[in-house]
Amino acid sequence: MRSDLRRLRSDRLGLNLCQQALGFVDKVLINTCLTPPVLRGSDFIGKAQGDIPSHNTVAVLLTCRRPAIKSASDRLHQRGDRRMTERETMPVDVVIIGAGPAGLAAAIRIKQLNEELEVLVLEKGAEVGAHILSGATIDPRALDELLPDWRETCPLAQTPVTENHHWVLSKGGKREMPHFMMPPFMSNDGNYTGSLGNLTRWLAEQAEELGVQVFPGFPAAEVLFDESGAVMGVATQDMGVAADGSHKGEYEPGMEFHAKYTLFAEGARGNLTKQMKAKFALDADCEPQVYGLGIKELWDIPAEKHEPGRVIHTQGWPLSENDAWGGGFLYHQADGQVALGFVTALDYANPYLSPFQEFQRWKLHPAIREILEGGKRVAYGARAINEGGWQSVPKLAFPGGALIGCAAGFVNVPRIKGTHTAMKSGMLAADAIAAAVAAGREKDELSEYDSELRSSWIADELKLVRNAQPLVAKFGGDLGTMFAGIDMWMRTLKIGLPFSMGHHPDYEETGRADLYSPIKYPSPDGKITFDRLTSVSFSFTNHAEDQPCHLQLKDPELQVESEFEVFAGPSARYCPAGVYEWLVEEGEEPKFVINSQNCVHCKTCDIKDPNQNINWTTPEGGGGPNYPNM
């Protein structure tokens, strides 16, 4: 069994590398002035963070890979006609969709409990960590429970938090929010700052040492059900399908993985998770999930400005000027780097607002700019973040499967942390699976996972902050922050209000364009601020161009009649990667253009489109961003 899985993994990885190499050559020939878009995190092993190889270095890397690529591709074509028309089927004990912190924690925990169980992790990125993006300042509570000796070998241990600041920004100034005003759980004492992508790479190594099979470049595209309607596994996506649906020469059908239990760890707004919520009515008794869009950059800064472990969070300007809310972060991490970013809550009303441009404006604030001047940006990325809190957590278990991590939504919004809760949810699901299999069960509902989580420290932590997000959303940054602080203190002191505030879906909050004025944003200076397309090149994003569009437009006419004519085409502004454009020529109907090859998989379009007319699905395996250490 295990040798078969390894062979399939090897052959698929060969195909992924081949396609990425071809995509890289094509992009460089077209535009050699951009930073290479196809670097993978593995190319950075042993290098300082942000040490981006030159074009010549990348050419050498690709040349070195070519013999392996060719032989793997040749083996793929030698399998015979049967593989061209039929799916291979592999039975395993547990399938986990997504090699993020929740999925890998679950895999490790299962093998700790029962080393005989066959555990398979499917990851849509070209490698583990390629699609992982977070701040990140991480609470090690779950890591301590799962792998108590992690500080001895994990790269996260390099940079413990040494300073913690919270700035309230005005256009030209700032004031520090005193720590004594915040509940004790808001402290970053004992936390660490570093790359979540590198943490997941390290977790994958620990999982593989225990015998877990980790398959990068295998996007789960279809959920499989047995005759009773229970989840019985997943099918991966077909490879080598052309944009018109025909099969290219390298076509390979997807594979079916049948399992006793399937864990959905896709992260925020996963495509298959959406389907499970709808099929099993998982969110019938909870508030709708709401989101923020986090946009992040990595910078190398001068040594004299770098203070390892210094953590800064901001609120207020610039979003305060546009009746929206969110905030920034700037973390001094290892190797002379800072990770900085900006989160915009996606319930903003003004359709002319651009989260990307607000991030660029934020970097121009004197307190932020002073840190960046003399530095160099080395990476860029974006992704959606769950912000709904405890009241938006859906039913977690259903026949044959369960939601874990950000697929369910365990982010603590005031703390700006979700890695520890995601990992703990995976561990609790693993406990339930190990017990169920030991009892001879399979493909039933893991109700004990749901109940255990709701009585765990995840629930205790999220209940303390359950009203923080809705209070800020309702009353704005200043009053809302004050009310949220009062509510959190009252709950800390066991005298909290006996109810949870509700949410409205983000897309419903978008206002008509005739009620707002366009926002004039400053032009990029190319030193501190940048344009979107140049930024996308620093995400190292690559998709095979001749493939079906993974951004599915349900009704083209509705997009023109409503998204453009009523809302003035906000898709051209909310997307942080320049995927969507409206082309307007005199005398002709506006044309909606989808540049899917730019997509960084942030899922914002799936969330914010005012008519829910765009459906994000997984592209061909290995496509998307290739974050080195985000």
| Residues recognised as catalytic | 134, 383, 419, 575, 599, 602, 605
Backbone angles phi, psi at 432, to 5 degrees: -65, -40
Taking the C-alpha atoms of residue 540 and residue 620, their distance in angstroms, rounded to an integer, is 16
Local structure of 247: helix, strand or coil: strand
Place of tokens 């009303």: 349
- String of DSSP letters for 540-579: T-B--SSS--SEEES-HHHIIIIIITTT--THHHH-TT--
- String of DSSP letters for 570-614: THHHH-TT--EEEE--TTS--EEEE-GGG-----HHHHH-TT--E
Paired residues of 174 in beta bridges: 169
Q: Quote the tokens at residue 85.
A: 């028309």
Neighbours of 176 (CB within 10 A): 9
Taking the C-alpha atoms of residue 243 and residue 17, their distance in angstroms, rounded to an integer, is 20
Q: Quote the tokens at residue 535.
A: 């930024």
Say if residues 574 and 624 touch (Cβ distance below 8 Å): no
Start-to-end CA distance of the chain, whole Å, equals: 34
Q: Which helix (H) or strand (E) holds 74?
A: helix 55-77
Crossing angle of helices 2-30 and 55-77, in 10° steps, is 130
Q: Which helix (H) or strand (E) holds 397?
A: strand 397-398
Taking the C-alpha atoms of residue 361 and residue 465, their distance in angstroms, rounded to an integer, is 29
Q: Which helix (H) or strand (E) holds 31?
A: none
Say if residues 485 and 181 touch (Cβ distance below 8 Å): yes
Alpha-helical (H) ranges within 31-54 are none
Q: Quote the tokens at residue 7.
A: 């062979």
Q: Which one, of 553, 586, 592, lies nearest residue 572 by Cα?
A: 592
Say if residues 100 and 422 touch (Cβ distance below 8 Å): yes
